[in-house]
Amino acid sequence: MGFTHRLRVLGASLLVLLATGAAAQDTNYWALQYGPVGQLLGGQVIGSERSLSATYYNPGGMALEDGTTFLLSTESFLIESFSTRPDSDIEIFDTSSTRLGSAPTLVAGSLPRSWLGEDTRLAWSFLTRQDLNSRLGERLTDPFGLEPAGSSATELYLDNRVNESWGGLTLSRKLSDTLGVGGTLYGVYRGQRSRTEINAQAVAPTLAAFSTLAITTFDYTHFRTLAKLGVAWERDNMRFGLNVTTPSLGLFGWGSAGYTLSFIGTDTDGNGIPDPPVLSSQTEDDLDAQYKSSWALGGGFAWYRGATRWHASAEWFAPVDLSLIHI
């Protein structure tokens, strides 16, 4: 592989690394489960949960349970692995990182029944909705095989962190021995950062030189509120439940961004003449921050027969209206 082609490959890799990906509705995915039953069943408890974890899954079901007054739910062990593999003979981006630890995901408590009567339950909860900590790195001295007549050096890094925590107050009322309704009002904090850094220098045996510098930074903090409403019904060996999650209402937030891009000595068309230098720099602080989420509708049921339990749940998410996002 010639020196020019290697520079093209590196340039393409650089563009991929710097490209801004489409933001997914990350809270659509049940990456974390709450409560011992929810963790055991993978979150398939919208219709069946009656303990304090119902503050999240279905607030209407909490009124049909007479027991738990406090719940601390943890993931005993959390293993998070993030890796990349090269798709060419250039050993670049071939790295991985792994984090091992433990983290509480739900803490909840029930307030005294004497406050609102025997048929009404009031509870508080605090849960971790998103927790991502990824870190990649690479330090290469000769990824293009230019030694000994030439030299090269590459330093890559990808670092992104996301944390989202929900704190809520739940009101649940039993309308009959088999029917309960309720709702949880959440206050949400979301903190997110992303760092991308790449440095590459190369000198070919022909003394052709290449240098590039690309740095992107991103910091984001946002506070919002939303509600979960639920209804639960049970009879004999069957349990059903429905829940509705409202769109988020933004309260306040702020963020900062940074962007640096510099190419010197590139030859993208392969004509042997270096392209003109490309220089760019942009940094902004005290930016307004927004975070949008959509309506969601969930449903589930549980069926009990002897020692066998069947649980099923499904959830539908409406698309986010991008016209509501002002740039």
Would the pLDDT of 141 be above 80? no
Q: Which residues contact 58 (CB under 8 A, 6 or more apart)?
A: 45, 46, 47, 49, 182, 230, 231, 232, 241, 242, 243, 298, 300
Tell me the average pLDDT across 21-45. 73
Would the pLDDT of 27 be above 50? yes
Round to whole Å and give the CA distance between 164 and 130: 5
Q: Are 174 and 119 in contact (CB under 8 A)?
A: yes
Tell me the average pLDDT across 43-70. 89
Would the pLDDT of 149 be above 60? no
What pLDDT, on a 0 to 100 scale, did the predictor assign at position 208?
63
pLDDT range class, residue 175, cuts 50, 70, 90: very high
What pLDDT, on a 0 to 100 scale, did the predictor assign at position 24?
44
Round to whole Å and give the CA distance between 298 and 57: 9
Structure tokens at 236: 């004999």
Q: What is the pLDDT of residues 285-297, one digit of tens each?
A: 888 888 888 899 9
Q: What is the pLDDT of residues 228-285, one digit of tens each?
A: 999 999 998 999 999 999 999 999 999 998 888 777 766 656 666 666 767 777 788 8
Round to whole Å and give the CA distance between 194 and 207: 36
Before 148, cis peptide (omega within 30)? yes
List the Cα angle 285/290/292 in 5-degree steps.
Answer: 160
Round to whole Å and give the CA distance between 221 and 135: 20
What is the residue type of 81? S
- Please tell me whether residue 310 adopts helix, strand or coil conformation: strand
Element (H, E) at 293: none
Q: What is the pLDDT of residues 126-136, one digit of tens each?
A: 998 888 777 77
Would the pLDDT of 10 be above 60? no
Structure tokens at 117: 């009567």
Structure tokens at 37: 């039953």
Handedness of CA 59, 64, 70, 76 (dihedral sign): negative
Task: State the chain's mean pLDDT as an integer.
Answer: 78
Structure tokens at 148: 């000994």
Round to whole Å and give the CA distance between 136 and 146: 25
Q: What is the pLDDT of residues 187-229, one digit of tens each?
A: 999 998 888 887 777 776 666 667 777 888 889 899 999 999 9
Tell me the average pLDDT across 314-322. 86
pLDDT range class, residue 71, cuts 50, 70, 90: confident
What pLDDT, on a 0 to 100 scale, did the predictor assign at position 230?
97
Instruction: Kindly state the percentage of the chain with pLDDT values over 90.
Output: 35
Please state the φ and ψ torsions of residue 94, each to the nearest 5 degrees. Answer: -90, 85
What pLDDT, on a 0 to 100 scale, did the predictor assign at position 79?
62
Of residues 306 and 280, the one with the higher pLDDT is 306
